[in-house]
Structure 1
């Protein structure tokens, strides 16, 4: 019997390794399309990606996979498995059961619908025409509600969608966290607008040669712990990171010659994702557990490095001399403290991806609240632009002049990605909570940042977060790393302390 269990396990892990290989092939081809593939080759490349993705999906729902999962899920067999194989069975069975439960014709219709919807969304955004997109969004929401009914749900209907991106986290858990964060963020924004002392940011928009920006970004990334022998930095229309395998985790950035922050902070943000994947335990390679625990945990790493470290006074104390040497014109007469204040200025923005660290969460709250209302039917799609404008006014004090700068600005809904937006704010909450735990464990870590000794941080994060990959659920990672459940108090305290300092609030 033991031999049979060993054979079953080996067969299962070999099968999953094949799936991981397909996934890597899709990832490297996708990276190629988004970075350096010639324009005339992209259409055929998309065909290949589609074919491989279909084969990967088929492997995940094949009868052979179902039989292996049934056998390995048997209580006695499952309890005898090693922890890695147990986690593989848990994750793949969850995915298998979801995919197999959807009727083939419904899944096909949804796939076609979202493909069309994304093209319609692009045109609607370009033409500022929400009405053109409205029927497609209505159909997407209808399909998602059918999926929810098939998959089932506990508590709020939205929980089933949220679970796709943040497993184990529910509306009931995050509603009170978000409500407190929203209230305190709006109050802090109002204090800044009423009494804050703004700082000069004009030097950040002077001329920064592209090549010098590339060199500076690479210098920063290498210093904070990105292994360039297991990755590379390229440029793309939209910055992203992609983990191909343990020895190949790539990032991209975008350079504007009159905006130092775009390339620098995009690079630091993406390297947070990349350092995470470079530090996942090697034994998880080829298991489909070699990835982040959730979108929120992944985002915690990018936001931690981009904002908590990258926008700190200690960070600029470390990198100021290098920046001043590489950009002598813009940095002439500018102090470390002036840079620190400049990169932390607050300005409510119509566009989410342009938002500063304080107001970004308000953009997420707005989308989260609207998504829940759309899914429950409390908000009609036809009324969405008005509801969007009302919340923008309430939270940020600004109103979009048109739908292109309002309800049509994000691609997520055209692809059916309801449940994704809240993971951005969860990432910020996790990041601040992890920083508080790091500060308790290593009280002088900020001094290490000043001295350019970032290894003390990456080693801590590797032990507490990175190495686990997808072995643990996000809430468990946070509890084990910090000693408590998900808690927004630390993010609120961090924001209040930072902006009281930056804006010299009483």
Structure 2
């Protein structure tokens, strides 16, 4: 048995090296590769993806899994969980012809460059053909599993185990029922708070502040790096090499602040996985929903709180000089103004989940063939007007604003809304152990990070999302905390 376990560890190491090489290529593609290099990088990604596919679907690998499963009682919890996840992964990919798997990997790598140019040029037509291929591949891959109906539910389950269209329809219906009336109520007392926090800051100074903010919240820059990209993201090579990006808007520095804090939340999670899981396939977040709960926790619950900015103003070595001219109340209201906007990543907390609902309904509609890809600009604008009362004047600030679909991340968007809800349940549990307001005012964010690491981060994928939420909060997904939080917060701001 020891020999089989050693062989298992060797093959997992090989798989992780391939995955790390793919991650580095992806990083290069999205941050610094010249447009002329996209083609070769896409081909490299295709070849390495095929190598990973061949490894995990090989006869040797499958027989080894089978043999280990037979002797499950002799295995520790880590290997048992790895086998469970690998069996699920293999079942999903072994039905896909290898040439199609490679083709899709190359396609999504190419698509990111095409999306970036289309967005720059406000040219949805140039992006539509490859986007249609991506959606078609996703539908086809699910159909290979023998599922012809409710394809989207299967995709959603891949991102958040146990999730499906019926559950999310009910979930979003509940949010819509509560948030839309609250938004109307807030809009009756609309005020221009944000003008106070819109001032010009050089890109150089924004970079300095972003790095200080990252260190302040607990991200280790000795084991991570901050760069920039068209769309902020986090990419993990391993827990000691976690890479973040942000973006800088000269006349709105808080855009980079909150993008940086959001990605920092993801990065702190990745860096906090237990060392014992480092060389396993469990050294990652439990699910996309749990991962987004950490980024949204840091961005919104911490980053948009009055107490956090009190601590920053008291302890920051470098801060924008413009902040010293504002009161704490002006900063707080400025960064929390409710204003239905075109861009998801700039959205306030109250309207954010409506942005996600739009993307959810569009994905569902395309996969059920209710919508055609060529009709997306029209459908997008109609839904923006229906839910948010605003309409993009260009596709660049509309249907082309997010990178996710070009990466093949169909089904990812609901994770943001689930993350919002999870984060408030986690806050409710944390309050029982920590005086959060006082901790933030004193700038003691290490205490919050340590609590999250102990309860969530260290487990990686060793626990399921459900197990984590039940152990931390005592219940599964419950939107009530999120809805009550929004009501209390915005009624106080707009009283």
Q: Is the 8 A contact 1:429 1:488 kept in 2?
A: yes
- Aligned match of 1:167: 161
Deviates more, 1:132-141 or 1:258-267: 132-141
Partner secondary structure for residue 243 of structure 2:
strand
What pairs up with 1:360-439 in 2 under 5 angstroms?
360-381=352-373, 383-439=375-431
- Aligned match of 1:72: 68
1:359 aligns with 2:355: no
- Aligned match of 2:265: 272
What pairs up with 1:469-488 in 2 under 5 angstroms?
469-488=460-479
- Aligned match of 1:489: 480
What pairs up with 1:9-158 in 2 under 5 angstroms?
9-35=5-31, 48-74=44-70, 77-107=71-101, 110-111=104-105, 114=108, 125=119, 128=122, 130=124, 134=128, 136-153=130-147, 156-158=150-152
Q: Is the 8 A contact 2:293 2:420 kept in 1?
A: yes
Structure-2 separation of matches of 1:158 and 1:228 = 38
Q: Is the 8 A contact 1:309 1:315 kept in 2?
A: yes
Structure-2 separation of matches of 1:265 and 1:339 = 13
Q: Is the 8 A contact 1:203 1:331 kept in 2?
A: no
Structure-1 separation of matches of 2:432 and 2:417 = 23
Displacement of 1:70 after TM fit?
A: 2.0
Partner secondary structure for residue 163 of structure 1:
helix
- 1:54-97 deviation line (CA, Å, top 9, x unaligned): 323322222221111222233xx124321100111111111112
- 1:169-191 deviation line (CA, Å, top 9, x unaligned): 22333322221112222112111
Structure-1 separation of matches of 2:354 and 2:133 = 27
Structure-2 separation of matches of 1:155 and 1:43 = 35
Q: 1:50 to 1:375 in 2, by over 3 A?
A: closer
Displacement of 1:421 after TM fit?
A: 1.2
Structure-2 separation of matches of 1:258 and 1:386 = 30
Q: 1:266 to 1:140 in 2, by over 3 A?
A: closer
Partner secondary structure for residue 244 of structure 1:
strand
Q: Is the 8 A contact 1:137 1:413 kept in 2?
A: yes
- Aligned match of 2:210: 217
TM-score (norm 2): 0.90
What pairs up with 1:222-371 in 2 under 5 angstroms?
222-321=215-314, 326-328=319-321, 330-371=322-363
1:467 aligns with 2:458: yes
Displacement of 1:193 after TM fit?
A: 1.1
Displacement of 1:388 after TM fit?
A: 2.7
- 1:134-181 deviation line (CA, Å, top 9, x unaligned): 555555444433322222459943121112222232233332222111
RMSD: 2.8
Partner secondary structure for residue 325 of structure 2:
coil
Q: Is the 8 A contact 2:15 2:55 kept in 1?
A: yes
**Contiguous gaps of at least 5 residues in structure 2:** none
Structure-1 separation of matches of 2:117 and 2:245 = 26
Alignment equivalent of 2:432, drawn from 429, 433, 440? 440
Structure-2 separation of matches of 1:97 and 1:414 = 25
- 1:177-226 deviation line (CA, Å, top 9, x unaligned): 22111222211211111124442x33423232444333333333222222
Q: Is the 8 A contact 1:216 1:323 kept in 2?
A: no
TM-score (norm 1): 0.89
Q: 1:31 to 1:348 in 2, by over 3 A?
A: same
Q: 1:320 to 1:371 in 2, by over 3 A?
A: same
Aligned residues: 495
Partner secondary structure for residue 158 of structure 1:
helix
Partner secondary structure for residue 232 of structure 1:
strand
1:452 aligns with 2:432: no
Displacement of 1:283 after TM fit?
A: 0.8
Structure-2 separation of matches of 1:135 and 1:222 = 42
Partner secondary structure for residue 419 of structure 1:
coil
Structure-1 separation of matches of 2:492 and 2:369 = 43
Structure-2 separation of matches of 1:262 and 1:161 = 31
Structure-2 separation of matches of 1:409 and 1:236 = 13
- 1:305-359 deviation line (CA, Å, top 9, x unaligned): 011100101101101245697333x234311111011011122122223322221
Alignment equivalent of 2:178, drawn from 173, 184, 187? 184
- 1:220-240 deviation line (CA, Å, top 9, x unaligned): 322222223322333444333
Q: 1:390 to 1:59 in 2, by over 3 A?
A: same
**Contiguous gaps of at least 5 residues in structure 1:** none
Partner secondary structure for residue 245 of structure 2:
strand
Displacement of 1:250 after TM fit?
A: 2.8
Displacement of 1:462 after TM fit?
A: 0.9
Partner secondary structure for residue 151 of structure 1:
coil
Q: Is the 8 A contact 1:168 1:474 kept in 2?
A: no
Deviates more, 1:334-343 or 1:344-353: 344-353
Partner secondary structure for residue 215 of structure 2:
helix
Q: 1:93 to 1:308 in 2, by over 3 A?
A: same
